[in-house]
Amino acid sequence: MLKILSGSLKGRYIKAPKDIRPATSFLKAAIFNIIGPSIENSCFLDMFAGSGAMGIEAISRGANKAYFIDSSNISCRFIKNNLRDLKIENQAVVYQKDALQSLALLKEKFHFITVDPPFIFFEKKPEFINSLLKTMVEYNLLNLEGIIFLEEPTYSKRNIEIDGLKIKDKRKFSSANLVQYTL
């Protein structure tokens, strides 16, 4: 079970599928410390959502709406159950789709986007992550002051330069790097 760190749902727990690698509490806290009060009334996108922990944390801290995308039926079931148990399903949209395909469904501009794919992607398909980020730019999904947070393993050999995005920051957290992109 994963704990909600702050906001209206602080201290509540959510359930997670056994086969996912959720972001650590330390990394989650770091992301939301960077976002700070800008989370208020924002629109949040949780890609590779797993349990929905990032988007649920965003709602707890004041986001108006969170979108959750995951290709796994099991993960989406957990997300929907967590949203229902916390009584916040009216602030959420859940898509069970491939990450790239799902981007075409999105009509919102997001203030914050978290991208936390399974680390195997960085070994087997590192170009997929860059393609996903480029497609977000092409579809104009990021608000002008928005930030994309990408969690990737420290061993990643992916070229972090993306056309249309600026690297705002890159920090190491244990076995993961957190890369921040802006327009």
**Structural domain tally of the chain?**
1
DSSP string, 63-130: -SEEEEEES-HHHHHHHHHHHHHTT-GGGEEEEES-HHHHHTT--S-EEEEEE---THHHHH-HHHHH
pTM of the full structure = 0.95
Structural domain boundaries enclosing 73: 2-182
**The CATH number of the domain where 158 resides is what?**
3.40.50.150
pLDDT score of 135? 97
What is the total residue count of the chain?
183
pLDDT digits (tens, 9 = 90+) for 91-133: 999 999 999 999 999 999 999 999 999 988 888 888 899 999 9
Q: How many CB atoms lie within 10 A of CB 183?
A: 14
